[in-house]
Structure 1
Amino acid sequence: MARSRTSSDQVHELLLQALETERGGIQVYTAAVEAAVNEDLKKEWQEYLEETRTHEQVLTRVFEQLGMDTEEQSPGRAIVAHHGKSLVKAIEMAMAQADPAAAELVAAECVVLAETKDHQNWELIGRVVEQGGKHAKVLKAAYDAVEEDEDHHLYHTMGWCRELWIQSLGMPAVLPPPEEVRNVETAIGASRAEQARDTML
């Protein structure tokens, strides 16, 4: 089957959004660390914050290598920036108005929302790499440096979010979540970890 050609304009847009997502992620994690009550979760998010800063640097190098302007704006990028600011605002509202456990749960939900977009960006960058073309070599190096972290961030925080919700409902929770214990890195692994949670109570 012949490889289809990617739209260079849309690859450009994807990279603009990806950089903005990482920048927003830094702000979301900074707020989430402040909201974290569970010490294991706080430590985890501090690690993710540092990794997200590294991802932003990786993308900045990609922009330099491809001759792109890191400050170039687009309607899509503006929307990503708005989403990031909205998530930070949600965490700040929860910290100001709710009890600490509820604020922590809001922060976990906001991280999951931010990481869902972030994870998708890198999955799409990986697909662009598969198509080959003029950007493939530069993007492959970036993808290889970042993609495993993105899996970890999304699936582990989803596990934390689920277990914090279960705890808030007065039911037995697995903390740290099974995704942490099993060091999950894939969607299939996350599903298996969730299915095994009852044996870990």
Structure 2
Amino acid sequence: MADIVEKVEDYVTSSKISTRLLMDKLSEFLAVERGGIKLYQAALQIVQDREVSQKFREFFEQTKKHEAILTRVIRELGGDPDHVSPGAAMAEKKAKSLLETMTNSDGLNGRAAELNAIENIVIAETKDHADWEMIGKIARRSDNEKIRNVLKPAAREVEPEEDEHLNWTKEQMARLEFEMLSQ
């Protein structure tokens, strides 16, 4: 979540946001959500820790909801959710690479494969978290009322969940790594 000073600045500063560039960014953010769905699906096949598995199921469902919210946002702003911007194409490649290291873990098994899956989720959630912070920032700073009215409720709904996704997953990664090292 953006710190309080930055949020105050956002509310007293307005910016002209390029709709074309915004739509390209939202295309990228949508690709990140879609990649996240695939990563959670793969991680759920690997993760053995019951607590992590249960939480990942919850995060998987929330990520599907986030994808639907972004799809709706893009449509409401007059865009095409099937448009693949250059940033979206790169996000798809990154997700594929993370997925590849998760499904073909080259000799990792058991706890090591599980940790690798969780690390990949942390990497993906770090980007996803930053994307939703940016959506919130655009919603606060845009001088375009339509952009503000479409993005604000989406950011308000999703940002707290993204905070939890990133923070909880990082904590669990550290917990499981420590448990593995201290056996």
* Interval of TM-score (by shorter of Structure 1 and Structure 2): 0.7 to 0.9
Measured in 2, the distance between the counterparts of 1:75 and 1:52 equals 22
From 98, 109, 112, the equivalent of 1:99 is 109
Runs of 4+ in 1 over 4 A off after TM superposition: none
Query: Could you tell me which residue of structure 2 aligns to residue 10 of structure 1?
Result: 21
**Does 2:154 align with 1:142?**
yes
Matches within 5 A, 1:11-90: 11-90=22-101
**In 2 relative to 1, CA 157–135 (structure 1 residues): closer, same or farther, beyond 3 Å?**
same
Query: Could you tell me which residue of structure 2 aligns to residue 151 of structure 1?
Result: 163
Aligned residues: 170
Q: CA deviation at 1:5?
A: 2.3
Query: Could you tell me which residue of structure 2 aligns to residue 181 of structure 1?
Result: none
Q: What amino acid does structure 1 have at the position aligned with 2:77?
A: L
Greater alpha carbon shift after TM alignment, 137-146 vs 5-14? 5-14
**In 2 relative to 1, CA 107–2 (structure 1 residues): closer, same or farther, beyond 3 Å?**
closer
**In 2 relative to 1, CA 38–138 (structure 1 residues): closer, same or farther, beyond 3 Å?**
same
Measured in 2, the distance between the counterparts of 1:2 and 1:99 equals 51
CA-to-aligned-CA distance 1:84-115 (integer Å, 9 cap, x gap) = 11111111122x63221111100110000000
Identity of aligned residues (%): 36
CA-to-aligned-CA distance 1:147-195 (integer Å, 9 cap, x gap) = 1110000000000111111122226xxxxxxxxxxxxxxxxxxxxxxxx
Q: CA deviation at 1:128?
A: 0.3
Query: Could you tell me which residue of structure 2 aligns to residue 126 of structure 1?
Result: 136
Measured in 2, the distance between the counterparts of 1:2 and 1:170 equals 50
Q: Provide TM-score, normalisation by structure 1.
A: 0.80
Unaligned runs of 5+ in 1: 172-201
State the SS of the aligned residue for 1:37.
coil
**Does 2:118 align with 1:108?**
yes
Aligned partners of 2:39 and 2:99 also within 8 Å: yes
Measured in 1, the distance between the counterparts of 2:30 and 2:81 equals 8
**In 2 relative to 1, CA 109–2 (structure 1 residues): closer, same or farther, beyond 3 Å?**
closer
